[in-house]
Amino acid sequence: MKKIRVNLDRRSNLSYDIFIENDILDRIGLLIAKKNVARRYIVISDSNVSSIYGEKFLEILRGVNLPADLIEFPAGEASKNIDTVSSIVRKLIEMGADRSSALVALGGGVTGDVTGFVASIYMRSIPYIQVPTSLLAQVDSSIGGKTGIDLPEGKNLLGTFFQPKMVFTDLKFLETLPDDEFNNGLAEIIKCGVIDDVELFHLLEREGEAIKNRNPDILETIVERTCRIKGGIVEIDEKDAGIRRILNFGHTLGHAIETASGYTISHGNAVSVGMIATARISEKLNYLSTGERNMIEKLIENTGLLNKIPESIETADIISGMKTDKKKKGDSIHFVLLKKLGVPFSNGSVEKRLIRETIEGLR
Ligand SMILES: NC(=O)c1ccc[n+]([C@@H]2O[C@H](COP(=O)([O-])OP(=O)(O)OC[C@H]3O[C@@H](n4cnc5c(N)ncnc54)[C@H](O)[C@@H]3O)[C@@H](O)[C@H]2O)c1
Ligand SMILES: [Zn+2]
């Protein structure tokens, strides 16, 4: 089993391990029991994941004599709100969960974000464990301790930084993950290749077919490499004050496209075309070579992710959805740009004129 340690600065008791392998469910129980995180475990899971894995997971914990219960909420981003938090909290109280209890987030990013948030505020915080079941959760949201929920005013507006005690990434979960969800995770993996790991980038180029077929060995390799990148960045910049911003590569435009589409375009697709646009901007500003820009576009296209901006989304709506750079009188937008593959820089300021032109060029 692969183990990645996330070391958090000077507070070793907050550091934790990410365990990665195919088919580790049977061993998870023992590892949790050994770590002795809590006396009692409450598994939080969405309706989809719970119906496939909920009971099995409870058996695994109970099998090693750990008292375990399950709380389920309706699947989907629409559940990532204060009502779900308050309903989970009420159930926890009803069950008599106290500070000797721990939560287990069994699911995708929504489950992880909501569970981490509840754990950070329930009785002034109780421990939690991440068991990410979507590819996006395995390579992105389960690492780094950002928790939170959406408000009607916007996504992720209410949240905390709260690190899990352990993360268990079992690639076997991916067997039941729908294709669109799988692609959301792939986009973040490509992003990590582009900003940090040229070898990973080439691996993705070479192994496209095996990845599409969800070959567990290749998945294990790319998930592990991506987790190392994200874990490494979080170690240096836990609270998102500096280098962690490079993880936003492709996201400035990506988020704006996602929002302007009324969320009909998935996060992974929006970020993918956002990465292409950002590579083009980096090329136009004479940072990135045409050859490398082309390689990025090819990889995204071959992976089957979105590489054009649909006509139905207005350029003006995309631009107005991005935060302007206050220091530059509102004519520029802050971007993470690329000098070359594997070398991003986060203080790029890009004029709206150039962004507009790039969006139009991607129709
Ligand atoms: N905390 C962070 O650092 C961070 C980072 C990135 C994204 N996020 C958040 O993560 C969320 C997106 O995560 P997501 O894409 O995992 O969404 P999700 O949790 O909604 O999962 C996507 C869908 O896949 C289903 N699913 C998950 N695992 C499955 C499996 N193994 N088999 C079958 N179905 C399965 C879920 O039920 C859901 O319908 C967003 O809310 C986003 O804001 C957080
Ligand atoms: Zn993302």
CATH number of the domain residue 166 falls in? 3.40.50.1970
Are 144 and 167 contacting, i.e. CB atoms less than 8 angstroms apart? no
Is position 206 within any domain? no
Cβ 51 under 6 angstroms from ligand 1: no
- For 351, the enclosing helix (H) or strand (E) is strand 343-351
> Among all ligands shown, which has an atom nearest to the Cα of 230?
1
CB atoms within 10 A of CB 161: 15
Cβ 184 under 6 angstroms from ligand 1: yes
Same structural domain for residues 140 and 287?
Answer: no
Is position 44 within any domain? yes
Over 70: is that where the pLDDT of 335 sits?
Answer: yes
- Mean of pLDDT values over 67-91: 98
Q: Residue with the nearest Cα to atom 42 of ligand 1?
A: 109
**CB burial string 41-57: b at 16+ within 10 A, e below:** bbbbbbebbbeebbeeb
Cβ 187 under 6 angstroms from ligand 1: no
Same structural domain for residues 114 and 261?
Answer: no
Over 70: is that where the pLDDT of 329 sits?
Answer: no
Amino acid at 222: I
- Mean of pLDDT values over 167-189: 98
- Which of 177, 201, 236 lies at the terminal end of a domain, its last residue? 177
Q: How far is CA 26 from the centre of its chain?
A: 25
Same structural domain for residues 147 and 21?
Answer: yes
pLDDT band at 323 (very low <50, low <70, confident <90, very high): confident
Distance in angstroms (rounded) separating the CA atoms of residues 332 and 336: 13
Give pLDDT tens digits for 121-139: 999 999 999 999 999 999 9
- Mean of pLDDT values over 96-108: 98
Same structural domain for residues 273 and 128?
Answer: no
By percentage, how much of the chain surpasses pLDDT 70? Answer: 98
Stronger pLDDT, 229 or 326, i.e. the higher one: 229
Same structural domain for residues 141 and 273?
Answer: no
Is position 218 within any domain? no
Q: How far is CA 208 from CA 21, 112, 213, 218, in A?
A: 20, 28, 9, 10
Over 80: is that where the pLDDT of 330 sits?
Answer: no
CATH number, domain with residue 356: 1.20.1090.10
Cβ 358 under 6 angstroms from ligand 1: no
What was the pLDDT predicted at 276? Answer: 98
- Mean of pLDDT values over 41-69: 98
**CB burial string 111-137: b at 16+ within 10 A, e below:** bbbbbbbbbbebeeebbbbbbbbbbbb
> Among all ligands shown, which has an atom nearest to the Cα of 275?
2
Is position 183 within any domain? no
**CB burial string 73-92: b at 16+ within 10 A, e below:** bebeeebbeeebbeebbebb
pLDDT band at 151 (very low <50, low <70, confident <90, very high): very high
What was the pLDDT predicted at 348? Answer: 85
- Which of 141, 161, 177 lies at the terminal end of a domain, its last residue? 177
- Which of 177, 200, 222 lies at the terminal end of a domain, its last residue? 177
What was the pLDDT predicted at 325? Answer: 66
Over 90: is that where the pLDDT of 21 sits?
Answer: yes
Same structural domain for residues 54 and 152?
Answer: yes
User: Range with the lowest mean pLDDT among 2-11, 179-188, 331-340?
Assistant: 2-11
Give pLDDT tens digits for 246-291: 999 999 999 999 999 999 999 999 999 999 999 999 999 999 999 9
Is position 60 within any domain? yes
Token digits of residue 120: 């950070």
- The bridge status of strand 332-340 relative to strand 343-351 is antiparallel
What was the pLDDT predicted at 351? Answer: 95
Residue 162, domain extent: 2-177
Is position 210 within any domain? no
Average pLDDT over the chain, rounded to an integer? 96
User: Range with the lowest mean pLDDT among 17-21, 54-58, 345-349?
Assistant: 345-349
Distance in angstroms (rounded) separating the CA atoms of residues 121 and 8: 21
